[in-house]
Chain A
Amino acid sequence: MSQIRAVLFRSSANRLRFALQEGLHVIVRGRLSVYEPRGEYQIVLDMMEPKGIGALQLAFEQLKERLAAEGLFDQDRKKAIPPFPRTVGVVTSLTGAAIRDILAVLRRRWPIVHIVIAPVQVQGEGAGRQIAEALTALNGLDLVDVVIVGRGGGSLEDLWSFNEEIVVRAIAASHIPVVSAVGHEIDITLADFVADLRAPTPSAAAEAVVPVLADIVERLRELRVRMEQVMLRHCASERRRADAGVLGLKDVRFRLQEAAQQTDDLMDCLCKMTQRLLRVRCEQVHELQRNLSSLNPILVIKQGLVRIPHLSKRLEGRMCVAMEHHRHRVRATLAQLNTLSPLAVLGRGYSILQTVPAGQILHRAGDVETGQELEAQLARGRLSCVVTRVLDDSPV
């Protein structure tokens, strides 16, 4: 087995980010030199990397990618953490600081909590299997409401169990919601990716899974007070409404009384008016009856009959006078007529000549010719004459 010495000078050693331990596999870089006192070749190192850790890191990345591709880290797989767990399961070591922190926080916040610890080894060979089995066992109890899986801080290697596939799959398979609490805030493991909730520390996990009992009791009290206040308000407002209703009824009763009173008054008034009207009408009727009896036609006829003899006497008197007057006028007129009548003239020896057949009364001799037949009207009788000669046409 060939070997070569390597040296790391203090100035270079101070720059390393990890502590050197016996048995550690490392990858190194340096320059070859000769150690003159022994006449040997040696490497003077200027770079060193832990070979094992680099491999873990690689394994972590590869597993993470594979499980993520399976969908184990999907958000929609996450179960809700129950708000009021009765029983909390804890998967961790009984010897670590984590269990003390968790118990202290749970007891302080939610003193009525029932805790079931499934003790496991949290680092080293076989730890991953124990953690997975503990999870399965808690799931089998049908008692636990939420499980905290975790441990306190440590190196990457210390926390490595929580990156193991068996642990990740057990958390994914749990039907109880799982809260992961591995190491400190800065430590991220695959258990954190798959858990339903990732808490930065075990204490934080305990705070996340239980409420504060005093808060809940206070909340219950507050809800009760609010309900009672609402009901008091409600009852008071109903009461006010009922009171308003009663007041309204009183009002109605008063108004009814008022209306009744008014009705009575109006009825009174109406009666009085009717009676007055009746009286007036009766008087009118009596008046009319009086008038009517004074106009009795029998009475009128009797009165008329009394006047008839007197009137007929006056009529007769008047008639005699009128008759006498007219008789006188007729006689005068006849006398007058007599003086004007042609017959009176004829009586005095005159005659009237008329042409025949025209009957024209002759005033001038010149109006007729010889041979003209004439008729002469005398006071008594008529003569038929013929013109033998027209003597003269001059006036008399």
Chain B
Amino acid sequence: MAAVKFETAMARLEAIVGELEKSDLPLDESLKIFEEGIRLSKSCLKILEEAEHKVEVLVQDKNGKKRIHAYSSGEESDEPSA
């Protein structure tokens, strides 16, 4: 799931920044994780940019089959409450 990927990336990114700020790494290793950090921050932003707002409704038809369809705010009146 995208959420897990994003969460992992964020956690790794935070860890990298912490590691860099401890500043006891040699320059070449710093550069290595810095590049990884930049890649991660870009991919995190990309995930956020590409995710879209979507509201759907999970319904079960008369045969017990589940399906998902887009939600419209007018729907509530159609939906039987029992």
* A interface residue numbers (CB < 8 A to B): 82-87, 89, 93-95, 99, 103, 107, 111-119, 121, 124, 126, 133-134, 137-138, 140-141, 143, 145, 213, 216-217, 220, 223-224, 226-227, 230-231, 233-235, 238
Contact = CB atoms under 8 A, between A and B. Distances in A.
Nearest to A146: B3
Interface size class of B (residues with CB under 8 A): 35 or more
Contacts of A216: 10, 48
A230 B1 contact: no
Contact of A117 (B1, B21, B53, B55): B55
B20 A230 contact: yes
Interface string B18-62: 001101000100110010011001001100100111111111100
A220 B45 contact: yes
B7 A84 contact: yes
A223 B76 contact: no
Contacts, number: 124
Contacts of A95: 76-77, 79, 81
Interface of B: 1-4, 6-7, 10, 13-14, 16-17, 20-21, 23, 27, 30-31, 34, 37-38, 41, 44-45, 48, 51-60, 66, 68, 71, 75-77, 79, 81-82
B1 to A, nearest CB: 6
Given A86-B1, A87-B3, A231-B30, A134 B37 contact: no
A314 B38 CA distance: 128
A89 B55 CA distance: 10
5 contacts: A94-B57, A115-B56, A133-B60, A227-B38, A233-B23
B65 to A, nearest CB: 11
Given A86-B3, A121-B82, A103 B55 contact: yes
A394 B6 CA distance: 175
Contacts of A84: 3, 6-7, 10
Given A145-B1, A230-B20, A230-B23, A115 B54 contact: yes
B17 A137 contact: no
